[in-house]
A = this chain, B = another copy of it.
Amino acid sequence: MLGLNETTVSIKNIIKASKNVYKYLSPTPLRHYKILSDMLGCELWLKHENHNPTCAFKVRGGINFVAQLTDEQKQAGLYTASTGNHGQSIAYASQHFNAKAIIYVPKNANSGKVAAMQAYGAQVVHFGDNFDQCRAAALQAANKNNGMFIGPTDEALINGVGSYGLEIINDLPDVDLIIVPVGAGSGICGTAIVAKTINPKIKIIGVQSAQAPAQQLSWRNGELIEAQNTTIAEGVATGVPFINTQKIMRKNVDEFLLVDDKDIIKSTEILIKNSHNLIEEASAATFAAAQQIKSQLQGKKVVLVISGGNISMNNLGQLFGVQPRKES
């Protein structure tokens, strides 16, 4: 089923996209953390995508996508669906380039992310229970209103976010292994294409929550498989896999792990405590994955992609044992 169709995702196009990206954004730091390294027995580096505007890697893709649109396309409206970070990215880029953004989010979306989208001037529509329902509604609205639908794995997005892969290899050319959280898959696809083109020996490992394993199951089985989607980590909450990122992952990803939400939560606390950065759960899934394969990491140079920092105040409170409260 997953044949090798044409794709525009390539290191050449990622380098081209990076020219767009660096007009508006700066590279993010790759930092070494001794305490975390000691915990895992490896040389551990965090790629701080949480330092981007919108506090997530997706903004690189949003900038690259909206930068290339015509004025007519921008005014017709950009419709998309998001659990949060992709929506912030499109909202941020739309504000920057004077485009009109309409973003469908699940009814229970992270209110901090929603507030950020609105602050960037986007129209936010609360719809349905999950990303997949929002996606269908956004697509329908785009068609009805002659707007443009932006899927979360559009290749201009993947080429844009791939710029952080270039930065990782530039800062740490000897990296042995990169662990990337997988939501729709744009981040890992960009990273994997860059890493495998430059040095095929770099291992690329994806991670999802065991409570939302659709992408992992699809990757492992070579066919598109839907699955439960109940994880608390909205950045990796994907119940329906994406064919284009699956194709790239099947070719370029070495391993794809599942970690339990309870280990993601523990890892979130560990990373916040030891990096002194606000880090969201999807990003912390990488640390849980590293713990799972600790024996393979000994002495290696390992990068965890900290895809975002947009943890909700409710979930942050829960790290300290505070029960969920109504968000204000």
A: residues with CB less than 8 A from B are: 26-27, 29, 31, 33-35, 48, 50-51, 53, 55, 112, 115-116, 119-120, 269, 272-274, 276-278, 309-311, 313, 316-317, 320-322
Contacts and interface: CB of A to CB of B under 8 A. Distances in A.
Given A317-B320, A320-B317, A309 B55 contact: no
Task: Rank and list the top 3 A-B pairs by shortest CB-CB distance, nearest first.
Answer: A317-B320, A34-B119, A320-B322
Contact of A316 (B27, B112, B309, B320): B320
Contact of A276 (B26, B35, B55, B274): B55
B320 A35 contact: no
Contacts of A51: 29, 48, 51
The copy count of this chain in the complex is 2
Nearest to A321: B322
Contacts of A317: 320
Given A320-B322, A322-B322, A309 B35 contact: no
Contact of A313 (B34, B115, B273, B277): B273
A317 B322 CA distance: 9
B31 A309 contact: no
Contacts of A50: 276
Given A26-B29, A29-B26, A277 B309 contact: yes
